[in-house]
Amino acid sequence: MTERIFNFGAGPAVLPEPVLEEAQRDLMALPGVGMSVLEISHRSKAFDEIIQGCEADIRRLANISPDYQVLFLQGGASLQFSMVPMNLMPSGGKADYIVTGSWSKKAVKEAQKAGTVQISATTEADNFTRIPQQSELKLDPAAAYLHLTSNETIHGVEWKREPEAGPVPLVCDASSDIFSRPIDVSKYALIYAGAQKNLGPSGVTLVILRNDLLERVPKNLPAMLDYKVQAENKSLYNTPPVFGVYIMRLVMKWLLDQGGLEAVGRANSEKARLLYDALESSGGYYRPHAKPDSRSNMNVTFRLPSEDLEKKFVSEAKAAKLDGLKGHRSVGGIRASLYNAFPKAGVEALVSFLKEFARKNR
Ligand code: PMP
């Protein structure tokens, strides 16, 4: 087998090895089917078992009640930036958005094309280093919904608990921390996530939405963009992203085998703590971007004393088989993404690497 290295990339990101192995084993022929998942009809019994099994495991993992739909859509989380307002904001309506980084800004930009966006809070003046306090939120009880981004993949800030939205439906872009810890789905009206960080490959987007929201969907939306059409057709209005759903099915099984979201959450906190502790004990050589109470367990972002040292850090790390550490081009610095499938051994390897790097490059 070709050697694997530690992949700190932000997404598409590392997948669990047992998932890759099973997919590889079954790529020529699914057991009992004699054809690969890439070659069978999405309306076949074999695929039906895959998509139904995936949904059942998602429901079990996050304890999702029958009051919610579980949909497998396309167009990435980016299309949800548009679908959410198109489906949930009534004509002439308004929605509240909390802005905590680049991704929530993008969500706002798309929503503005569909209706009136009110900014409940923004931490842009603090360079997106923190999550706002509940007391900072300006909430409109007449808003169609309140939108937040549970984890900002680029800036590395993460909500530790959901904001209180009162009677206003809460909508969450959970693309980069979904199923990284226990989640109380009943607090949300809609949760969406592109799969390519914690759930599977790119090309499939998970949408969990409360049934009553379907009553709001306006008539005459293009069918593909209409949650009601997608729900009535159980994500099979057209050909779904079959390979993405198949891999997601394997990832869900793997998460259940790990002991579910409690166990995965504990492991993720432990991995992130190891890395933040190492940064904090570097005597100021490494400077975490996010304020302590807002730090992401998924994307650890930090700076070095200079951009030249950051470049050197990234290239020497790559040579040491620690890949994908360059921060997003919009903010620079270093970003280590530690999604569910990222092993603790990789964090330990990075910690020894960064200690040695600081010692040699003071
Ligand atoms: N939201 C967040 C928080 C993200 O991290 C990303 C992708 N990195 C997106 C939205 C956009 O996702 P996609 O590329 O699937 O459209």
What is the per-residue pLDDT across 177-223, written as a single tens digit (0 to 9) for each? 999 999 999 999 999 999 999 999 999 999 999 999 999 999 999 99
173 is catalytic: yes
Q: If you take atom 5 of ligand 1, which residue's CA is the nearest one?
A: 153
Q: How far is the CA of 131 from the centre of ligand 1 (A)?
A: 18
Tokens 């099915």, residue located:
249
Q: Is the CB of residue 78 below 6 angstroms from any atom belonging to ligand 1?
A: yes
Measure Cα distances from 19 to 16, 50, 134, 201 in Å: 5, 14, 39, 11
Nearest atom, ligand 1, residue 151 CA: 3
For atom 4 of ligand 1, the residue with the nearest CA is 175
175, 198, 204: residue to mutate for ligand 1 pocket, most atoms within 8 A of CB: 175
Question: pLDDT digits over 47-81, tens only?
Answer: 999 999 999 999 999 999 999 999 999 999 999 99
Any ligand 1 atom below 6 A from CB of 77: yes
| Catalytically annotated residue among 173, 228, 271, 326 | 173
Long-range contacts of 181-188 (CB under 8 A, 24+ apart): 181/261, 181/264, 181/265, 181/268, 181/269, 181/297, 182/261, 182/262, 182/265, 183/62, 183/261, 185/62, 185/63, 185/64, 185/65, 185/68, 186/65, 187/162, 188/162
pLDDT score of 1: 60
Q: Catalytic: 197?
A: yes
CA atoms within 13 A on the CB side of 222: 5
> Which stretches of the chain score pLDDT less than 50?
none
User: Which positions ≥6 away from 263 have C-beta within 8 Å?
Assistant: none
* pLDDT in the model for residue 74: 98
**How remote is the CA of residue 134 from the centroid of ligand 1, in Å?**
25
Instruction: Find out whether the beta carbon of 258 lies less than 6 Å from any atom of ligand 1.
Output: no
Residue 173 Cβ contacting ligand 1 at under 6 Å: yes
pLDDT in the model for residue 224: 98
**Quick check: CB of 310 below 6 Å from ligand 1?**
no
Task: Give the distance (Å) from ligand 1 centre to CA of residue 251.
Answer: 19
Which two three-digit tokens encode residue 14?
A: 């590392």
